[in-house]
Amino acid sequence: MQDFADVFDPIIQEYHGISPDATHTSDMDVNKIQGNIDPTAPVHSTRIRVGRSIDGFGLSPGITKDQRLGVESLMKKAFANLTGDLAGTYYPLTGMDEKVRQQLVDDHFLFMSGDPNLKVAGMERDWPEGRGLFHNKDKTFLTWVNEEDQLRIISMQGGGDVKGVFDRLARGIKAVGDSVKAESGKDFMLDPKYGYVHSCPTNLGTGMRASVHVDLPGKNKLSMFSFFNSLESVIK
The reported pTM is 0.88
Q: What is the pLDDT of residues 95-112, one digit of tens each?
A: 999 999 999 999 999 999
Instruction: Say what the pLDDT of residue 78 is.
Output: 98
Q: Which of 18-22, 118-122, 147-151, 217-221 has the lowest mean pLDDT?
A: 217-221
For the chain, domain boundaries: 18-231
- HSE-up of residue 124 (Cα within 13 Å, Cβ side): 10
Distance CA 172, CA 220 (A): 38
Nearest to 176 by CA among 109, 96, 92, 76: 76
List alpha helices for the chain, DSSP H.
5-16, 65-80, 98-106, 116-120, 162-184, 221-235
Distance of CA 21 to the CA centre of its chain: 27
The three-state secondary structure class of 84 is helix
Q: Read off the pLDDT of each residue in 102-127 and give the average, rounded to a whole number.
A: 93
Instruction: Say what the pLDDT of residue 236 is.
Output: 47
- Tell whether the torsion through CA atoms of 179, 211, 168 and 86 is positive or negative: negative
CATH number of the structural domain 18-231: 3.30.590.10
Strand pairing category for 141-145 and 151-158: antiparallel
Q: Read off the pLDDT of each residue in 58-78 and give the average, rounded to a whole number.
A: 97
pLDDT reading at 180 higher than 50: yes
* Cβ contacts of 204 within 8 Å, gap of 6 or more: 12, 16, 191, 194, 195, 196, 197, 198
- Tell whether the torsion through CA atoms of 192, 198, 202 and 208 is positive or negative: negative
Instruction: Say what the pLDDT of residue 34 is.
Output: 82
Q: Read off the pLDDT of each residue in 2-10 and give the average, rounded to a whole number.
A: 82
Instruction: Say what the pLDDT of residue 38 is.
Output: 78
Q: Are 111 and 144 in contact (CB under 8 A)?
A: yes
* Proportion of the chain above pLDDT 90, given as a percent: 66
Q: Read off the pLDDT of each residue in 32-48 and give the average, rounded to a whole number.
A: 85
